[in-house]
Structure 1
Amino acid sequence: MNRASRTTRSTSSRAGAQAPARAVTRTVSADPLGGTVRRTVLPSGLRILTEAIPTTRSVSFGVWVAVGSRDETPAQSGVSHFLEHLLFKGTRKRSALQISSEIEAVGGETNAFTTKEYTCYYARVLDEDLPLAVDVVCDLVADSVLAAADVETERAVILEEIAMHDDEPGDEVHDLFTEAIYGTHPLGRLISGTEQTVSAMTRRQIQGFYRRRYAAPAIVIAAAGNLDHAEVVRQVRQALRGTPLEVAPAEPAGHRPAAPAVRTGTRTVVRAKETEQAHVVLGCEGIGRLDERRFALGVLNNVLGGGMSSRLFQEIRERRGLAYSVYSYSSQYADSGVFAVYAGCAPGKVDEVLELTRTELAKVAADGITDAELARGKGMAKGSYVLGLEDTGSRMSRLAKGELLFGDLLSVDELLARVDAVTADEVNRLAAELLSRPMALAVVGPFDEGDFAR
C-alpha cells in the first residue's frame, strides 16, 4: 500500500462507544493518487471528511443524509424526494432566490438527489468560494422552513416530474423491474412516490419526517479539492450554530445494517404502451453491498454486458442487429441487490432478444468466462474506478459513500488490488449461482401480460 498512514474502521461502529465530548479528528489516508483524507467527528455525531487536492482550483462540498425512499411507509412514499425539493425553497436566513443566486453569482452550481438509501445536497465552487458553499448548503439542509405555499408549489412540480418520467419508457422499465423483483417491499417503490401519495402528503407529515430523520448522527459532510480540513470543520460548525443540528453529544450512526434477507419475486410485469420501441429488463436477485464478491460481480458484469466488447452487445447488436442499446448492470443495497440486462428493440424482435439473452446467461452460468474475458473485465473495472475519480465531485462522493455505506474508505490502490485479486474461479462460481436464479421480467411496449405468459 502506498499510503502514509491508515487507521482501523470508524469508531462509530463499535458497540457501546461513548459519544465524544469534543471534536475528534484523525488522518484516514494519504493517497498518492489523490490527497490527504481527514475525518472529524463533532460532538453531535455529525461526521466531516475532506480530501485535500492542492493541484485543483475548485472544491466540491456535499451533505449526505442516511435516509432514502426505503425508509418511508407506504403512505409516505416519495417524502424523501419531496423534502429534497423543499429544502431549496427557503430558510430562516435565505429565500429560494438567494439560495440559488448566491452560488450562481460566483459561477458555482448546486443540486441534490435522492436514492433508495440516502439523500445528497451538494455544491461545486472555486476554492476561494468554499466558505459560501458551506454556509448555503448547511443552511438549507439544517434550517429550512418548509412554508405551506412552497409545499403546494413543489407538489405541482413533482407531479409534473412523475408525469414526465412516465413519458420515458426507457427509464420507466427499470422502475417496473424493481417492482417485479421486490413487489411491495420498500425497495420496490418509486423514489418519487406516486401521483396518489404525493397528492395526499401534508406539510405536517413532511416536516415530521424532516425533523426525525435529518439528525446529526445520520449526516456525513464531505468535501474534496483545494481546501484545509481544519478550516472546513470550523466553517461547518459556524454554519450549523443555532440550527436544529447543533445538538447534544451523540454517537455517529453506524452504516445501515443488513436486515433479514429481502424476499424477492420472479414476476413478469408488462406496461402496455403504444411505443415505437419495446423496452425490456430481464434479471434476478443479486448480492448486497457488503458482499465480498462485489468485485467479482463487477468483472462478470463487464464481460456480460458492460461495453461494446461484451458478450451481449456483440451477439445481439453487432452480429444480429436486433437492438440499438443492450447492456447489463447491477445495483447493491445494504441487504440485497439486483443483476439485470436491458435491451431496447423493435416490438417484433423482443422474443428473439430475450431468447438470446437467456442463452448467453446460461452459457456463462454453465461454462464460465475465458481468461481473456477475465483480463478485459478486470481492466474495465480498474479503468472505471480511476477515470471516475478525475474530478472533485467524484472524490467527494467517494468519501461520503465510504463513510455512509461501508463504514470504511478503501484507497484507490486498495480498490485496484481488490480487482486484481479476482480469479476466474470466483467469477465462475458467482456466475453459476447468480445466473441460474429464477428471472423476473419487465416490459414496456405494445404488449399485454399474455404475450409473455410462458
Structure 2
Amino acid sequence: MPLNLPLVAPGSPGAELVVGQDGGAAVRRTVLPGGVRVLSEHMPGLRSATVGAWVGVGSRDETSGHFGSTHFLEHLLFKGTARRTAMDIAEAFDAVGGEANAATGKEHTCYYARVLDTDVPMAVDVIADMVTSARLDVDELETERGVILEELAMNDDDPSDVAHEQFATAVFGDTPLGRPIGGTPQAIRSVPRDAVWEHYREHYRPDTLVVTAAGGVDHDALCAQVEAALTAGGWALDPGSAPAGRRAAGTTGPVPSGTELTVRRPTEQANVIVGGTCLNATDDRRFVLSVLTAALGGGMSSRLFQEIREKRGLAYSTYAFASGHADAGLFGLYAGCTPAKVDEVTALMVVELERMADTPMGAPELARSIGQLCGGLVLGMEETGARMSRLGKAELVHGELLDVDESLARIRSVTAQQVQELAGELAAAPRSVVRVGPFGD
C-alpha cells in the first residue's frame, strides 16, 4: 500500500510515519519544528548514504527581473557561508572521499552528497549551512556568472541539448515551463545580486525544505542533526508551523497549438524531436505512459529502434521520452540522422506512434515492455542516490510513497487497451517539431 504523506504540523497525527520496504529496508518520515520534513530509508548492510536537501523552487517560479536566479543559487550555495569558505566546503567532502553536487529543475532544486555512513553528520551540517547561510558574496557572484555562462555555452555546443531545450520552448511557448532551466545568457548577464538574494530569501525557508537520506542512516539521529544544523544556521523553527503546500496542479498558461522550429548549427548530423504535451506528474496513467514509451522507443527491441535503425539504417540514436510536471507533461520522439533524411525519419516516428494508436500491442510486446520497466526499476533502486531522490519526489510531487512492490504491481497492471487509448490521445494532440542542424533558409 502507498504511504500517504500529509502536510501537518509537528506533533499532529501523521507527522511521524514508518513503513517497511523491500529487502528489510524501512522508510520513516518526521515533520520537525518549522515544518521541515525529514524522510529516510535505512538500507541494512550498507556503509554509505546519500543525503539531499530539497527546496520546492525551480526555474518556473522565477518572476521578471529574477530570471536565472534558481540556477545561479545552485552554484552560489557552494561558494561560501558565514562559517565556511568555498574551499572549506570542497575540502569537507574531498577529505572523506565523498561527492557533493546539486541539480536545478523546473519545479525543485536539490543539494546532495554521497558519503560513508560515519560521515553523514558532516554532510548534513555542511549542506544545512549552505542552505541557511549562503553569503552570496558580490565578488563570488561575478566570478560564478562567468562560470554559468561557460556552462550555457557548453550546452549550446551540444546539438542534442539544444534540441531538447528548444523542444520544451516549442511545446510550452511563452510560459514558465517553456523557459530554459539554466536561464538564458542574457538573463544570467543581467540578473543583479539583489534579485538573486531576494529569490533566496523568499524560497529557502523551513516550511519549504525537505531533507531525504538513504543507505546506512539512523532516522532519529538524522532528525536531531538536521534540527541542530538548521538552528545553528539561524533559522527560527516554529513548533507550530506546518509544511508549505505542494505545488497545485493548475494550468501552465496558454500553450501553442503546435510549433515547428529549425535551429541552424554547422553539424554533420541533424537532431529532430517531434511530440507535444502529455500527462502531468501525478496522473494515474503515468504507468501506462511508461509502458508506451518503453515499447515505442525504450530499448533495442523498441519500435523506433527496430524500424529506423535496424531495418533502414537511418539513425544511430532514436528513442521516446516523457517528463511530468505539476500541471502538464512533455512527450517526444527523438532521432539523430543525416540532414537530408530528417523529413523521412520524422515521418517514420509519427507513423510508429499512429500505428500504436491504431492497433493494440500484442501480448509478447506488452510483456517485454513491462519486463524492461520492472527490471530497470529494481536495478535502479539498488543505489542510495536513487532511493534518496525517490523520497524527495514522493514528498514534493506525489504526496505518497510507493514501495517497489506497489510500483511493480502498477506497471504490471497496464493493459494493451490502455496503451492504445493513450497513444491515440498523444497522436491526436497538437504536434511540435524541432530540428537542429546545418539547414539553409
TM range (shorter): over 0.9
Structure 2 matches for 1:441-452, cutoff 5 A? 441-448=433-440
User: What RMSD, in angstroms, separates the aligned Cα atoms of the two structures?
Assistant: 1.6
Q: Give unpaired runs (5+ residues) of structure 2.
A: none
Shift, 1:312, TM fit: 0.6
Indicate the residue corresponding to 1:149 in structure 2: 139
Indicate the residue corresponding to 1:253 in structure 2: 244
Shift, 1:327, TM fit: 0.3
Indicate the residue corresponding to 2:152 in structure 1: 162
Indicate the residue corresponding to 1:272 in structure 2: 264
Structure 2 matches for 1:141-290, cutoff 5 A? 141-248=131-238, 249-260=240-251, 262-265=253-256, 266-290=258-282
Shift, 1:153, TM fit: 0.6
Instruction: Please state whether the residue corresponding to 2:401 is helix, strand or coil.
Output: coil
Structure 2 matches for 1:24-423, cutoff 5 A? 26-33=16-23, 35-248=25-238, 249-260=240-251, 262-265=253-256, 266-423=258-415
Shift, 1:375, TM fit: 0.8
Shift, 1:163, TM fit: 1.0
Amino acid at match of 1:316: I
Amino acid at match of 1:78: G
Indicate the residue corresponding to 1:11 in structure 2: 6
Q: Distance in 2 between matches of 1:278 and 1:393?
A: 34
Q: Deviations over 1:96-152 (max 9, x none)?
A: 000010111011110001000000000110111111111111111111111111110
Q: Distance in 1 between matches of 2:71 and 2:322?
A: 23
Share of identical aligned residues, percent? 49
**TM-score using structure 1 length:** 0.94
Q: Distance in 2 between matches of 1:166 and 1:360?
A: 30
Instruction: Please state whether the residue corresponding to 2:33 is helix, strand or coil.
Output: coil
Amino acid at match of 1:224: A
251-260 or 313-322: which moved more? Answer: 251-260
Shift, 1:11, TM fit: 2.4
CA contact (8 A) 1:262 1:336 kept: no
Shift, 1:437, TM fit: 1.4
Shift, 1:54, TM fit: 2.2
Shift, 1:353, TM fit: 0.6
Q: Distance in 2 between matches of 1:245 and 1:307?
A: 47
CA contact (8 A) 1:77 1:189 kept: no
Instruction: Please state whether the residue corresponding to 2:200 is helix, strand or coil.
Output: helix
Q: Distance in 2 between matches of 1:186 and 1:261?
A: 7
Q: Give unpaired runs (5+ residues) of structure 1.
A: none
Instruction: Please state whether the residue corresponding to 2:407 is helix, strand or coil.
Output: helix
Shift, 1:74, TM fit: 4.0
427-436 or 307-316: which moved more? Answer: 427-436
CA contact (8 A) 1:33 1:412 kept: no
Shift, 1:43, TM fit: 1.5
Q: Distance in 1 between matches of 2:87 and 2:13?
A: 34
Q: Distance in 2 between matches of 1:402 and 1:357?
A: 33
Q: Deviations over 1:163-219 (max 9, x none)?
A: 111111111100010111011101111111111111111111111110110111111
Q: Distance in 2 between matches of 1:168 and 1:193?
A: 16
Pair 1:262–1:386, CA change in 2 (3 A): farther
Shift, 1:78, TM fit: 1.4
Shift, 1:247, TM fit: 3.2
CA contact (8 A) 1:77 1:191 kept: no
**TM-score using structure 2 length:** 0.96
Shift, 1:92, TM fit: 0.6
Shift, 1:416, TM fit: 0.6
Q: Deviations over 1:48-74 (max 9, x none)?
A: 001111211001100011000000124
Instruction: Please state whether the residue corresponding to 2:326 is helix, strand or coil.
Output: coil
Shift, 1:33, TM fit: 3.1
Shift, 1:286, TM fit: 0.8
Instruction: Please state whether the residue corresponding to 2:35 is helix, strand or coil.
Output: coil
Number of aligned positions between the proteins: 439
Q: Distance in 1 between matches of 2:16 and 2:173?
A: 43
Shift, 1:22, TM fit: 8.6
Shift, 1:34, TM fit: 5.2
Q: Distance in 1 between matches of 2:12 and 2:222?
A: 16
Amino acid at match of 2:38: I
Instruction: Please state whether the residue corresponding to 1:209 is helix, strand or coil.
Output: helix
